[in-house]
Amino acid sequence: MSVIELLWPAFVLAVALVFIHSIFGLEIIKRGVIFTDLAIGQIAAIGMALSVAFMDAQYQTAMTLFFALLAAVVITWATKKVQKIEAFIGLLYALGISSIMLILAQSPEGTELFSKLSAADILFTSSEDLYKSLMLYGAVSFVMFVVFPRMQGVKKEFLFFTMLALTVTSSVQSAGVLVVFALLIAPSYAGLMQRKTKPFVFACLFGSLSIVLALLGSYYLDLPTGYAIIFVTVLFSLVFVIISSIMRDKKMKRE
């Protein structure tokens, strides 16, 4: 079996992950609530941890979705009612990660399970898992591009966080919490730091190149896939942002 035949589901899933998370990442950065996705992902992972620790990994999707939606409802309410929302969301993240550690503390594989929840290995994704993810991401994309712009007020906020929760439910299971955070923020940040291309288009291209290179490096160098994705995507984004900032400063001085 060739490398392409073996890894094509992982590469397609990688590009799909970049696409769907760029939709939310741009909006999250513009809103200034950077840790929203990380908090929802971490709370969602509580469902996965409970499923693994006490239910023999049964009902994993249902449990993850329940906790993701719960986080979405809480954050939707908090954005309208709570002051210093970033601090509130940061505390939600801390609550999520500590809960997971306590849940997995009794398991002999607790450390390994926590590592998988943080950054999973998508390198050998099955075609069946890929198709399920693509169906969900297609439905979420339709809602975000067609329905979301027509809504207003609290309903619009709730729809946004609900769609983010649905996306995170799938993404956390296939890629891990930290990978989701990196894909939400890094490509979108790079997209917003340039002016030549539409931010969403640039974020998709930038993120796709980063994650494909990370997958190739992970496969050929035998590196942990999840952490390779985080490292390459974040590094490329930081380098791009630094260079863009330097070039912009030089341009302003010349003017």
- Give 200 or 30, the one with higher predicted confidence: 200
The share of the chain scoring above pLDDT 90, in percent, equals 30
Distance of CA 246 to the CA centre of its chain: 28
- The SS3 assignment for 116 reads helix
pLDDT tens digits, 95-145: 988 888 888 876 666 666 777 777 778 887 888 888 988 999 999 999 999
DSSP H helical segments within 148-198, as ranges?
A: 153-174, 177-192
Residue 185 C-beta-side C-alpha neighbours within 13 Å = 20
Tokens of 53: 């620790």
Q: Tell me the Ramachandran region of residue 238: left when phi exceeds 0, alpha when psi lies from -120 to 50, beta otherwise.
A: alpha
The pTM assigned to this predicted structure is 0.83
3-254: CATH superfamily: ABC transporter involved in vitamin B12 uptake, BtuC (1.10.3470.10)
Please say if the pLDDT value at position 51 is more than 70.
Answer: yes
pLDDT tens digits, 187-227: 999 999 888 889 999 999 999 999 999 999 998 898 888 89
